[in-house]
Amino acid sequence: MITTIGVLGAGQMGNGIAHVFAQYGYKVILFDIAEAQLDKAVKTIGQNLERQAKKGAISEALVVDTLGRIKVTQAMEELGNVDFAVEAVTEHEPLKLEIFRKLDGIVKEGSILASNTSSIPITKIASATNRPDKVIGMHFMNPVPLMKLVEIIRGHATSDETFAQTSELVAKVQKEMAVSQDYPGFIVNRILMPMINEAVFALYEGIATAEDIDKGMKLGTNQPMGPLTLADFIGLDTCLAIMNVLYDGFKDPKYRPCPLLVKMVNAGYMGRKSGRGFYSY
């Protein structure tokens, strides 16, 4: 039975993942190498829970209980007894492989090791461990407490039992899953990023202004925001990195990143986080 969950990485995604598991009654051990990130994560989780309570979505008592179930640590060894681990450290392949190699030696036998990676093959991550059947992709969406979807990615060796236990966990935290095989971009980014990239091509070719491209897609296809606005939210560097994963992974020119996207990233226009992207903030 899963009662204690280890979360590795206390950044944007890690804090949301810890929040959600703790909210639904799991004990969480949140690990990061940076103390400042752990402090910031606990503060963010507290603020987000308070916001949920203010809206009436959860009780004040649950705010206190949830925070009480989260323990933070800078020592990976403290994850030895977790029943399930989710890794959400920086998206850098050598780092993830190293973390999984180490984690495999620390976490007790039988526990599942999941990764929240957006683009690194789960099969490759699994091969860094001696339990590839127990490794699976668990791709949460940002912001985790609000977004309903979790993409579940089955690596080449992921067992049916690992898949079943992970699916059960997704249901326990009241999320919905979409199941993907392990190919570049999985489901959502495979479809979303080429759409964003095509929107950048439309701007690059002078087909329309950024405002009209976004308005066309927002009102014409009933999306909550246009693709260029969304790209600014995600970060243009992240969009470019994912296009490159698709391009390199499939060796298919249809995934060629738009030269304008490349140029904007080179110029430091990363979107909202840098104050400038397709729009100014």
Ligand X SMILES: NC(=O)c1ccc[n+]([C@@H]2O[C@H](COP(=O)([O-])OP(=O)(O)OC[C@H]3O[C@@H](n4cnc5c(N)ncnc54)[C@H](O)[C@@H]3O)[C@@H](O)[C@H]2O)c1
Contact call for residue 32 and ligand X (CB under 6 A): yes
Report whether 87 contacts 9 (CB < 8 A): yes
d(CA 158, CA 29): 24
d(CA 280, CA 272): 8
The residue at minimum Cβ distance from ligand X is 11
Report whether 74 contacts 31 (CB < 8 A): yes
Sketch the per residue contact string, 160 through 189, with ligand X: x for CB under 6 A, - otherwise: ------------------------------
d(CA 187, CA 178): 8
Q: Which stretch binds ligand X (CB under 6 A): 5-13, 52-60, 251-259, 261-269?
A: 5-13
Sketch the per residue contact string, 72 through 101, with ligand X: x for CB under 6 A, - otherwise: ----------------xxxx---x---x--
Report whether 29 contacts 7 (CB < 8 A): yes
Contact call for residue 12 and ligand X (CB under 6 A): yes
Binders in 137-156 for ligand X, by CB under 6 A? 139-140, 142
**139 in catalytic set:** yes
Helix (H), strand (E) at residue 73 = strand 70-73
- Which of 86, 95, 165, 89 lies closest to 124, judged by CA? 95
d(CA 278, CA 281): 10
Q: Which of 8, 125, 199, 230 binds ligand X (CB under 6 A)?
A: 8
Exactly one of 48, 116, 118, 180 is catalytic; which is it?
118
Contact call for residue 13 and ligand X (CB under 6 A): yes
Exactly one of 119, 151, 180, 197 is catalytic; which is it?
151
Q: In this structure, which amino acid lies at residue 187?
A: I
d(CA 89, CA 117): 8
Q: Which of 6, 14, 184, 185 binds ligand X (CB under 6 A)?
A: 14
Binders in 225-254 for ligand X, by CB under 6 A? none
**189 in catalytic set:** yes
Catalytic residues: 118, 139, 151, 189
Q: Which residues bind ligand X (CB under 6 A)?
A: 8-14, 32-34, 37, 88-91, 95, 99, 116-118, 139-140, 142
